[in-house]
Amino acid sequence: MVAHFVRGHSPNCTFCDIQGNQDEDPETPLHLLYSCEPVATLIDSIFSWLLGEPVILSRQDYFVSFNRQQHRKNNALNLVSMLVKKFIWDCKLRFTLLSLSKCKVFIFEEVQILRHVSIKARKVFENADLFMQPG
């Protein structure tokens, strides 16, 4: 999308370019934040780590709202989803590859801050019973 506004900026996906992907994938919001191969791998890995089981997220879960049968986890997963998107965006802006370990640390630290500054967030994460260990 930036290519529309910045002269000389490639319309290709930043992560595909960094990895040397020969296919030209336009950097649409859906591609950048969900369907790009390294992004999709990161998303599935993060939520599998949090839930303690293999997970492949739907776009509905990731972009709109989680609707798991264990309702106490849904709000926490929605907040983590926003943090994952922020991490992906930050990596894009820095032109760096996505790192699962760095994303885990980022999420852990941000959740600790949320729990510290908000009683509601603290309750959401305590009730969610997610695996939240750094690294």
pLDDT digits (tens, 9 = 90+) for 45-93: 999 999 888 988 999 999 999 988 878 899 999 999 999 999 999 999 9
**What is the C-alpha radius of gyration for the chain, rounded to an integer number of angstroms?**
16
Give the pLDDT confidence score for residue 4 in this predicted structure: 42
26: β partners: 12
Phi, psi of 27 (to 5 degrees): -85, 75
In contact, 86 and 80? CB cutoff 8 Å:
no
Q: How many angstroms separate the CA atoms of 67 and 122, rounded?
A: 20
Q: Smallest Cα–Cα separation from 29: which of 62, 56, 57?
A: 62
Considering the chain, what is the average pLDDT of its residues? 87
Helix axis angle for 37-51 and 100-117, nearest 10°, is: 50
Helices first, then strands: H and E counts in the chain: 7, 0
Instruction: Examine the pLDDT at 1 and tell me if it is beyond 60.
Output: no
At 134, is the pLDDT very low, low, confident or very high (cuts 50, 70, 90)?
low
Q: Specify the 3-state DSSP secondary structure of 56.
A: coil
- Give Dmax over CA atoms of the chain in angstroms: 49
State yes or no: pLDDT of 22 exceeds 60: yes
pTM: 0.87
